């Protein structure tokens, strides 16, 4: 499965405004909850519960908040950029700028792990991260991800 198979243009937020982890998650869930047909509050709660187990800020300016939800029909992916960076309790202690939010049905562990691995793999590419941070809008972000997604 490619990232662009599940990343909808309307779930890309090119300029997150929040300055803390809770605020970033609350912003990221807005389009994703709408696409998934779930409550923003419920989705934010699932993500915050997952964060309590350990931060999904993996370092290198990247956060991949994720969780599983009951009553979800299929996997949903969102993307956000924090231009200024935010303290996401990252493993390296550095500000986080690039976020992929992944929510999957409760019983889809394999799919969940495959997509997490794919996202992690493409984000190891530093020039890609720079291009994403310089992207002007959702269309440009999707184009950059699509280009990289084709190579893997």
What's the CA gap between 104 and 147, in Å, rounded?
24
Of 13, 29, 65, 66, catalytic: 66
**Which tokens belong to 72?**
């979800």
Closest CA to 56 of 106, 12, 4, 103: 103
**Which tokens belong to 33?**
């909850």
> CA separation (Å) from 91 to 5, 96, 108, 115, 126?
29, 10, 26, 20, 17
Residue 66 annotated among the catalytic residues of the structure: yes
What's the CA gap between 14 and 144, in Å, rounded?
13
Closest CA to 47 of 58, 37, 55: 55
* Catalytic positions, written as ranges: 66
């Amino acid at each position: 499965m490619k990232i662009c198979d599940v990343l909808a243009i309307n779930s890309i937020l090119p300029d997150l405004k929040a300055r803390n982890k809770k605020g970033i998650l609350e912003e990221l869930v807005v389009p994703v909850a709408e696409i998934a047909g779930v409550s923003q509050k419920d989705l934010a709660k699932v993500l915050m519960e997952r964060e309590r187990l350990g931060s999904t800020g993996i370092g290198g300016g990247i956060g991949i908040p994720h969780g599983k939800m009951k009553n979800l029909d299929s996997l949903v992916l969102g993307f956000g950029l924090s231009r200024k960076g935010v303290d996401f309790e990252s493993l390296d202690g550095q500000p986080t700028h690039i976020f992929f939010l992944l929510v999957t049905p409760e019983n889809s562990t394999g799919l969940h792990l495959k997509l997490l691995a794919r996202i992690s793999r493409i984000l190891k590419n530093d020039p890609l991260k720079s291009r994403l941070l310089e992207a002007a809008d959702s269309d440009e972000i999707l184009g950059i991800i699509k280009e990289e997604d084709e190579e893997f």
